Chains A and B, each alone.
Chain A
């Protein structure tokens, strides 16, 4: 009785029940969903990929901690979102990307892409893509240097470029590639082959990831399955990747029909490059995508269409990153023009 009397009465307001799902839980599940993709990357590229992933995660975690200290906020590493950024960032980089540059990318991803805006929930663009965009601009050679996967001894030795010293001229990997590569490795990604040489990589190779490319975007099938897991757990909005694929197909389909020599089929567009990873794990980043039912479709279609336009008519082979960043910037506008009609609103009052 005395214990009861001492207890301070806490007055709560309704609702007094909570759904048993938290931010940490959502973020943790995204990490789970990304683990197989990371695992495949390590299997394919070996030690370099493993250390690359660890370095970006570590860099992101340290940056987050640093900025939390500087701004006097409680350390928010525990919400797992920073781990996701680290994983995603590594997956978009070439497997032999110099580790010090990866650390810089991680710092920029969290510092510039997230912390400056106020941390989780306040960023306006996907932090991982902000980090990648920075290193794309800063280190254009390193980020387009591809190395073959499945080399012998990949679990025992680094790709030489991984261990490049900061601010030294880029290590030339040509000799290493020549000595390790399976026959005919050109370093060209399926997108580059298609764009510049009009050689189409087989759908099977795209699905399984037996192609050249970034550390974690090679196996479209694996990424798709991992994304499905999140969609089924209702921790990812399935409409966004669906809209991205729809948008990509809407524009690449007619182009392909007009000139199949130059323009690849929608299936190739969807399975190649970073589109699958971008659509499943980056475009769906909750913080920077619109929430309105019509807004998510519009947002996804914008990403799909922009990706194809940049790929086909831009100077780069890859367009997903910029497409998503542009769509991120458009997201508030998209949200505001797609507010749903509220219950009981008259026609006149429906516009808002």
Chain B
């Protein structure tokens, strides 16, 4: 009997903790949204920030965050896929592979501030890229790359052996088998993982303070020539992202509505991350259905 009652108590405790965590998240989300949502409007999302007067928006910052994310993904995805394929398909069980695995692990646990400082020293100053979107994207690549490698490797490993062997038996080269048979099968897992990783890139600030800068030059949203200085698409202009903007407004904001802007921007950021998460689930599932139903 005693064991039974202990069991009941502990079950209660654990279930309680489970719901406590859910409540905690709900409270956190509620706090951020209730404070911020009221400030979100079309004007807020599209107009440029004001340094002194009230009524500034977060338009350029939102654009910068998304553009930086795209830039980072353009760099990371091909490289991450490549290294992931190597780790799962080509690497032999030897010292070198163990060493590379260690590197991936260390790289993914570097503090973002250390990566930011490295970016400042090497990408910004030595390569002369200056505080720019490109520098920011390269710095983010440093800690997004190991994540991509791990996602790809795990996804490829989950592909059934038979599929792979069937490809090889048909006389396809190993590379061909990987790209035409295995990658499509593992695509849903890779896409889901990538989008989740993108959510983290979206909220990163510490590394970007030192690499992408804290300024938002005036952008001309009618000029889409990536080589012009005021063009939003120019990757060599400095860019303040949403997360950095929250940090700046909180710390040095002079506008009378700085607190509301910070709250509104936080809410926008959280909503975006929420959309990323839901989108990743939905997209991964839809892709999986599409790719498996036809076969």
Q: Are A and B co-members of a single complex?
A: no
Using a CB–CB cutoff of 8 Å, the interface residues on chain B facing chain A are none
